[in-house]
Structure 1
Amino acid sequence: MSTTDITPEALRCLGRYDFPSPADIDPDGIGIVAVGGDLAPDTLISAYSQGLFPWFNEDEPIAWWCPEPRCVMVPSDYLPSKSLRRQAKRERWQLTLNQAFDEVIRACSLPRSDGLPEGEHTWIHEEMIDAYTELHSFGFAHSVEVWDNEGQLIGGLYGLKIGSIYFGESMFHRATNASKLAFWGLMRLCVQSEVMLVDCQLPNDHLLSLGAAIRPRADFLIQLDTLIGKRSVQWHPHSHQPMAVAMLDSLKPWQLKL
């Protein structure tokens, strides 16, 4: 499977399943539009190309969601806070692209400081980890990593890129604001790569504090139809050089490897 030279129609028709229209099956905007299927790469790409994503607990049937409304971020509109800018300038941390996907997704799967019992994971369980790791091997799923000055992974995020839209999945941090710096790095990478929209799926206070906005589902799906067909700079495992977080405020911080 390649990320190039696939039409939007072909992307939506990948896999064995015909997903229903969110507007037809979910007119009240509850969010869930289908149950069942599998997490094969073709199925996932077809679902995301239609605005759907899987969200379910371990040992439950696969549930496919298309929330109403949708939480999105326009990369060119993103503005980091003054305090984050100051921190970026003083830290000796580095950002990388696609250098530790497995570590990032597994870190995102671990319990947060929000009351989960010890040993209990988030909805990112082994079935999800295996599925998105396979998507990463096909060049659709990507991670942004933050490393401290001792080379330790302290933050990151992962998601999917199809055409000129990035579908964000999850982020984590082990040091203050490391996930925010990863998000800032993603925004700058998207602008440089001509990625026009980041899908944040469901709104939460953290995403809204970063500048995400709420958009009606119907409007999102109309724009999605155009974005998945637009070309953007490809993100390969070794396409971009590591970048010091202190460079985030520069004109074009991410440099392509020649």
Structure 2
Amino acid sequence: MHLFVNDAFALEPVAVRQVGDIWAQLCEEAVLAAKSDIALTRAMNAAILYHGSFAAALTHRLALKLADHDLDVDELTVAITQVFLSDPAILTAAAADLLAIKERDPSNAEILTPFLYFKGFLALQGQRVGHWLWHHDRLHFARHLQSRISEVLGIDIHPAARMGKGIMLDHGSGLVIGETAVVEDDVSILQNVTLGGTGKESGDRHPKVRHGVLIGAGAKILGNIEIGEGAKIGAGSVVVRSVAPYTSVVGVPARPVGHAAPGSALPGVSMQQTLDEPDYVI
């Protein structure tokens, strides 16, 4: 565990600074929280301040959340530590996810709260651990984590799904992402979204969500289709055909209702949920 002191193992210098900055900010916010409410002192110490690094604190948080009678905190701590040591880029992705939440969620202006409490953030980091396990022939361990994340956090992401960084799973409740799905960088997804199959295919059968997409609450995106860069999917929409880049779709079945110029602000980052057409708000 001494390698976790500064999270510098096998990371590029820029990534080391990013993770280090996140850790410093997290500690500062934990100290302020404890000072503002003495009842939180023990909690802030146990969750953040007693740890030597972002990696160690994240390991502890995930292990504590996902432990059960089959795999206890110590066993999960060993496994998660191994994953972070083997693929420290997971830490960079986690740091990017925290920044994404801080920048995009109007109800939250810090990184401490999502780190400790946001289901979407915690489920995504657990899935990243499961993804590593899945690709290193530890399928049953990965399945166990998927099951625990679903039971504890109400979010079901298959460990084989490929998730980018800078992702915000807002609220997260009821989110389902299938085995062959891809979610690229800077995507924001609201609650009760399904990235699923059509129920009649095998193999590569789930959506590919490209850079900067925004998916509204309750949307169902089904099949091996592509949601192009910068697209918006309206709340409650059912999408069964590919969506062109920078296109907004709504409805059942979804149909295009707006277009933006390529290179426009990415809706997954801006969280701009309105359209130029005044009749539509996703």
What TM bracket, shorter-length normalisation? under 0.3
Larger Rg: 1 or 2? 2
Q: TM-score when scaled to structure 2?
A: 0.24
Q: TM-score when scaled to structure 1?
A: 0.26
Work out which structure has the larger RCO, using CA pairs closer than 8 Å and 6 or more positions apart in sequence: 1
